[in-house]
Amino acid sequence: MIPLPTITPMMVVLAISLAANAGLGWAYLGQRDETTAAAGQRDQARADATACSDAAQDLRELADKRKAAAAPARAAAASTAQGLQQRADYTLGLQPKVPGDMCASMQALGDEWLQGRAVK
């Protein structure tokens, strides 16, 4: 028989130390991988946020250009609307042509409108 080596307390301490160091190394590597993945996600989130911000800025610039291009059309529409509002105020302020007969009053109002339209 081969004699077995005697296990000394120093060997036990070294074995425990070796096992603890291996466990710490394993935990370190796992944490390092998680940190690397988190950094990658952070960088991707920053890139996405920057792209979103750039796209929003581009849309803002496009909206400003369209607003400037539409300004003459809005001014013309406001001018037309002002004339139409004055006409509506005039029409709404009229007294019925035939008091008590709304249908005849509306007919008279329509005739007057058609005559005014023919003049234009």
Please report, as a single letter, which amino acid is at residue 69. Answer: A
The number of residues making up the chain comes to 120
d(C-alpha 14, C-alpha 17), whole Å: 5
Confidence of residue 91 (pLDDT cuts 50, 70, 90): confident
d(C-alpha 29, C-alpha 25), whole Å: 6
d(C-alpha 1, C-alpha 63), whole Å: 93
Give yes or no for residue 119 having a pLDDT over 80.
no
**pLDDT tens per residue across span 35-63:** 988 898 999 999 999 999 999 999 999 99
Query: Which pair of structure tokens corresponds to residue 98?
Result: 């035939």
User: Can you give the residue ranges of every domain in the chain?
Assistant: 11-93
Return the pLDDT at 87: 84
Other C-beta atoms lying within 10 Å of the C-beta of residue 118 = 7
Q: Are 72 and 60 in contact (CB under 8 A)?
A: no
**pLDDT tens per residue across span 12-26:** 999 999 999 999 999
Return the pLDDT at 109: 87
Return the pLDDT at 120: 58
Q: Tell me the average pLDDT across 78-95.
A: 88
